[in-house]
Structure 1
C-alpha cells in the first residue's frame, strides 16, 4: 500500500510539473475607465504568451533559442496607453474583416454595405474602430495540461457598417510543449461576412534586434499568390509564384527580393504585403501555412491554419515613429506579419473562398503558433 501511495504521489507530481499555468493580473485602465486584464500562459519548456483583454491582443510571446535564452518574438508596446493612443494592430485579434475591402463596399443578397474607409479608399481590418481596439470580456482562465484563456465580444448589428449582430469568441491555449493555439468562433443573427485572424508581427531574432527581421528565413507552401493593384486590392488573379520573388516554397531570407523594384508588385506593396493562396486550401484541421526561422538563434515558428490564405507583410509602413518595447524604434523590416485568413476583398470576388456567415452556421478559424528550436 505504501509503495502504491508513493507511486501515485510521484505520478501526481509529474503531471503537475508538466502542466501549463495560466495567471491573470490587472493591466491598467483605458481612457474611458474600463479595466484591462492581462492573462499569461506559461508552458513547461519556458514558452509563454501574455494576452491583453484590450483587442484580445497577443502582447508578448517568449521563446527560447538553442542555448535556452528567452526572447520576446513579437513587436508591440510596453504600455497599455500606447496600445490605445496609437494602435497598430500589434498582436491584436482582427475583425470583423481582416485585410482590405475595396472602396469599403460589398454587396450581400442584393444589398450594398458601406464600411469606414481608413486605408485610403479601402476599409482595412474592420475600418479603424474594429475588434482590435475593443476591450474583450475575459470568460475563463484555466491551468492544466493545456492552459487557456477565453475572451468574448458582442458586435451589434450595423457595427462599422456590417450587417448582423455577432457574438465572437477567441480562445488562446498553450500546451506543455509551447504550441499556442488560437480559435476564433462567431455566430450571427443575419447573413454577414467575417474574417478573423491574429496580427502578431514577428522577429525570431527577438523584437528590437538591431539587424531587424529580414534575415529570418521564410517558407510558405503556396504555388500562387494574389497580385494587387496600386491600392493593394487583389485583381482577382491567382498568379504562379514560380520565377518570381514571391516563391518561398523552398525557404529563403525575407531580404531576398524585398527591394526588387523591377517587380511592380514589390513597388505597390513597398515590399511584401500580399496574400498567398496556400496549396492546402480551406481545411478542417490546421495545416502548415508558414515556417519562419532565425538561423543565428535557432528559433523557429510554424504557423498552421484552417484558412486558405496567408498575408505576408514585411513591416513596410514602420517608419521610425513607433517607439515599441524597451524603447526600441521600429523601422521598416523590423518584423514580419503572417496572417492566416480568407483572401483580401473576397466579398467582391466570386472566385475567392467565400467569407459569408449565416445564422445557424457559425464561423470558425483555428490557427497555431508552434515554436521550436533548430539545433
Structure 2
C-alpha cells in the first residue's frame, strides 16, 4: 500500500502497481489528481473503488504527459477462460465498475493502453465512442480477462493511429458484429497486428466483402475459439496480410483465397479439411490437424513443417505439392518407413522434395532419431534409425503389428 500524502510528489514520472484501496491510512485515487507529470501509470484492484467520484478525482484526462496507462481489476476468470463459479458477478457490481472506468478516461496523448480483469457488461464509453475523448495518439491496446463483455467496442476502428490490438480471454463474446469494422469509412486504417486469444465461445465474425477495413494488417493471430468461418471481408480487404496464425480454432473447416499471405500456421484445428488458393504462400506449418486432406493452389510453397505424432502414414496431399524444404516430426515407426527410402511405401510422397529433415522423439529429445534426405545428391538418404531401434523403442503392440507390414 501507499501511505496518504502521496499527492505531494508532484514531479513523479512513473508510478507502478498503485493499488486502489479506499479505507485506512492508505492512498486512494484522490491523491493521483495533482500528479500532473506522470508518463506511466499502473492502477490495480480497481474493483475496490466504491464510487465513480473517486475515479473522477484522479483526473487522468488532465495528465497531458501520460503515455502508458494500465487499468486493472482482479481477474474473475479461471484457467479455462470461464468465470469462476465462486466469482460470479452481480448486476450491481457490473454497473459500479462501468461507472468507475467511465471516469478513468485517458488524456489525448496516451499511446499505450492495457485493461485487465474488467467485468463490466460493456467496455467504457470512451472506447465505444471515441468522439468522447480524441485518443488520436493511441497505438497499442491490450484487453485481458474481460469476464462479462458481450461484444468488442465499435469505437476502436476509428482510432487513426492504432497499430496493435490484442484481446485475450473474453468468454461472453460469441459474435463479432459488423460494427467492429464498419463504424467509420477508414476502419483500422493503420492496424498492423491483430491478436484474438482464448475467446473460447467465439463462433462468428461478421465482415462482408464490400466493407473496407484493415488495409495495412500484416499479422493476424486467432487462438482457442470456435470460429466456423474466416469472414470474406478479411480476405478481400486485408491486402497487406502476410502472416496468418490459427491455433486451436474449433469448427473451422477450410482456409482459402488469401492472395497476400506468405506464412500460414495451423495448429490443433480439429475440423480443418482443406487449404486452397493461397498463391503466394511460402511457409506452411501444419501441426495436429488430423482431418486435413486437401492442399491446393499453393504453387509458391517453399517450406513445409508437418508435425503429428498420431498419423500412421504421410498425408495424401503430399503427392500434390512440391515444397523445397520439408521438416517432419512423427512417431518412431513412421520415421522408420520414411528411412526405407525407395523401398518404403511413403517414398513417392516426399521424393520430389529437395531437402527433407524428419525426426522422431525419445523422451524429452524431440530429435533423437532422424532421417535426412537430399534429392539433388543422387537422392542421398541418411538416418540413425534401424529395425532394432524400432522394436526396442515401440511400446504399443498395435504399432509393432503395423510395422511388421513394412519390414
Write 1 or 2 for the structure with the bigger share of helix. Answer: 2
TM-score (structure 2 length as normaliser): 0.22
- Structure index of larger Rg: 2
TM-score by length of 1: 0.23
Pick the structure with more strand per residue: 1
Larger RCO (CA under 8 A, 6+ residues apart): 1
